[in-house]
Structure 1
Amino acid sequence: MAGLQRELTLRFLAEPADVNFGGKVHGGAVMKWIDLAGYACAAAWSGKYCITAYAGGIRFVQPIHVGNIVEVSAKVIYTGRSSMHLGVDVKAGDPKESTRSLTTHCVLVMVAVDSNGKPTEIPEWVPTSEIDIEMRDSAIRLMDMRKKIGAEMEAHIHP
């Protein structure tokens, strides 16, 4: 049911196929996992098929090693009419231990679409806790910054 599940976590082991030439998990693999968790979270919240509109501020804090247990957590932090901003954290660690360290963080914007691929309305999320209000306000500030960056980029696209 839409509007009930605002966060989820995917858990799995980092496999040898995920390794880059340096012996650590490839950043592209991490970005794929982020997109998968973002989709699952956005679809659960909206009850609709969702597409990725934006992935930004990706911070690779520390590497993930083959054999690590990986947890990719996505959480709705702001909703618009058809879009959702999600905070995504990737944590990893030795599966024999209970501690997981932050390896990557980013913000995704997902858009719910109908069967024709057109944006469609989603349930509104209203923050209640202080931290959720801070996250929502941060998402709004990031949205404003993206608009400014987009305007600057237009000069490069259409000189």
Structure 2
Amino acid sequence: MVVLDLATMKNKYKHVEETRITISELMLPSSANFSGKIHGGYILRLMDQIAFACASKHSGKYCVTASVDTVDFLNPIEVGELVTMKASINYAGKTSMVVGIRVEAENIRTGEIKHCNSSYFTMVAKDEKGKSCYVPGIIVDDDLEVRRFLKALKRIEMKKNRQEEFDSEDFMSENYIKDLENYNVKIELKNSK
């Protein structure tokens, strides 16, 4: 059940820029993994924090993480680098928002900046009773923001279609065996429907 929050509904739309957040943190040895690079789990924790802050700033509500899509680790982050995360609302539904996050690492001695990670967090706004509640829509005012909104819509649609296709009662693995021929998989079906 979605709770209608009249205070939120007064401000039905917000500009993406109003809720954009940037954070920076120096990477310390305590966050390194066994190979001496910054642990991916630590970066994911920071990303979850900025996603929460961005979604809460947009909605004016406490927000929870519903899903994380497309976590691409592109370049390793070194101890001593300054990590900057940029988050913005890419999509707003009725009760959920997609927060796009870009992670960059800067070598503070040379000034070299590298793109290290991108991800999309789906956040859901909650009221004081823990029920999902309405969030303001977003105002997109340039081509990049339109593109981000459309890409979020496409990811949502693809996820829904994938769930419907593979979670269906009618699913039969035999219909997909040919699709698996060129992959690193050996099929030994014991009992099929």
TM-score (norm 2): 0.76
Equivalent in the alignment of 2:123: 110
Consecutive unaligned residues of structure 1, counting only runs of 5 or more, are: none
* Shift in Å, 1:153: 5.1
When residues 12 and 145 of structure 1 are mapped into structure 2, their CA distance, relative to the original with a 3 A threshold, is same
Structure 2 residue identity aligned to 1:52: T
Give the gaps of 5 or more residues in structure 2: 1-7, 170-192
Shift, 1:72, TM fit: 1.0
Rounded to whole Å, the distance in 2 between the matches of 1:149 and 1:43 is: 29
Aligned: 1:80 with 2:115: no
2:66 is the alignment partner of 1:53: yes
The answer to whether structure 1 residue 12 and structure 2 residue 13 are counterparts is: no
How far 1:25 moved relative to its partner?
0.6
Given the alignment of the two structures, is residue 101 of structure 1 paired with residue 107 of structure 2, yes or no?
Answer: no
For 2:78, the aligned partner's letter is: H
Query: Which residue of structure 2 aligns with residue 41 of structure 1?
Result: 54
Larger radius of gyration: 2
Q: Post-superposition shift, 1:97?
A: 4.0
Q: 1:21, 1:150 → 2: CA distance?
A: 36
The alpha carbon displacement at 1:81 in A equals 0.8
Q: C-alpha displacement at 1:130, in angstroms?
A: 1.1
Q: Tell me by how many angstroms 1:148 deviates.
A: 2.0
Residues 97-153 of structure 1: CA deviation (Å, up to 9, x unaligned): 444211000111111001111111111102121111111000000000111233345
Instruction: Give secondary structure in 2 for the equivalent of 1:87.
Output: strand
- Whichever residue aligns with residue 30 of structure 1, its letter is I
Q: 2:43 maps to what in 1?
A: 30
Q: 1:145 aligns with which of 154, 158, 162?
A: 158
CA offsets 1:72-109 (integer angstroms, 9 cap, x no match): 11110110011111110000011234442110001111
The answer for the alignment partner of 1:135 in structure 2 is 148
Counterpart Cα distance in 2 of 1:145 and 1:94: 37
Moved more, 33-42 or 93-102: 93-102
May I ask how many residue pairs the two structures share in their alignment? 158
Q: Deviations over 1:52-89 (max 9, x none)?
A: 01101000000001111000111101100111111100
Q: TM (normalized to structure 1)?
A: 0.91
Change (3 A) 1:32 1:116: same
RMSD: 2.1
What secondary structure sits across from 1:53 in the alignment?
strand
- Work out the percentage of aligned pairs sharing the same amino acid: 29
